[in-house]
Amino acid sequence: MAGSYDDRDGVIWMDGEMIPWREAKVHVLTHALHYASCVFEGERAYEGKIFLSRDHSERLLNSARLLDIPSRWTVDEIEAAKEATLAASGFKDAYVRAFMWRGSGEDMGVASSKNPVHLAIAVWEWGAYYGDAKTKGAKLDISKWKRPDPATIPSKAKASGLYMICTMSKHAAEAKGCSDALMMDYRGYVAEATGANIFFVKDGEVHTPLADCFLSGLTRRTTLELLARRGIKVHERHIMPEELDGFEQCWLTGSAAEITPVGQIGPHTFTVGALTLAIASDYEKLVRGRLEETPTPMEEAVA
């Protein structure tokens, strides 16, 4: 599937109905369009099954709660809607976007409590988020924008408003020939990329930023479990930018990004090494239900 996202065949689940793709529309005075009163989830289906589907649905409702958006739907109802939409799409390997927002109503200022809440689910085919970076390693810029203090906005919510500085950061990165950008947090610590968490390797051990002011992704959580399964020591801690020179390997994690190696961040270079490839291989097997109970030896995992 290619072309503009508003001009495609298929259906989108919207407030309990399957709507023809091109007819799934909202009014220009939708509150979310003006004030970012929207939360969402990005998920992937593999061989007809959405990976960590229920976890995503639970997080969607938690994000809505954090942004004072009351849901009319339960986790079970969202799960059923996602399954129906995936089946209607005809895709087995696909990206699933569930999102909830404040629509048009009596309120058109900052307040929106009088406006109805809507839920939609769209499914489409989406290949590697970073193109050929899975083999070559992504190239990252270093953003001038920082992840905000949790006292300014609920950082544990997957909310559309939190992504505007990510969009600006990614635009600036792409203008420099990069795939993405690394963002620091409001204190100056290494945080994450614009839509993915980050991991580093040094002397056989893994270091990843402490997720105390940004979203700790479900793929991040899964990666930590895969590393524990292999007996790899992990340090979740604050990482200073000047430490980047000392790391040997680096990768990104996210539902869209999956596990993508990083070859460069600004002036810092990394090897697409054995541990990166092994964890990426483990993840690919896990999401397709093919991960063995006993970890594959490192040399076999990356062969």
Of the residues 82, 134, 158, 170, which is catalytic? 158
Burial tier of 137 (Cβ tally within 10 Å: 0-12, 13-18, 19+)? buried
* pLDDT single digits (tens) 68-98: 999 999 999 999 999 999 999 999 999 999 9
* pLDDT single digits (tens) 219-256: 999 999 999 999 999 999 999 999 999 999 999 999 99
Catalytic status, residue 158: yes
Residue 6 CA: distances (Å) to CA of 3, 22, 25, 102, 178: 9, 6, 9, 20, 27
To the nearest 10°, report the CA torsion of 41, 36, 190, 208: -20
Q: At 190, list the tokens.
A: 């290494």
> Class of the 133-301 domain?
alpha beta
Residue 209 CA: distances (Å) to CA of 67, 169, 242: 25, 19, 14
Average pLDDT of the chain is 96
**pLDDT (mean) for 155-163:** 96
d(CA 109, CA 37): 12
Domain residue limits, the chain: 11-124, 133-301
| Residue 163 and residue 126 in contact, taking contact as beta carbons nearer than 8 Å | no
CATH 3.30.470.10 fits 11-124, yes or no: yes
Say if residue 218's pLDDT is above 70: yes
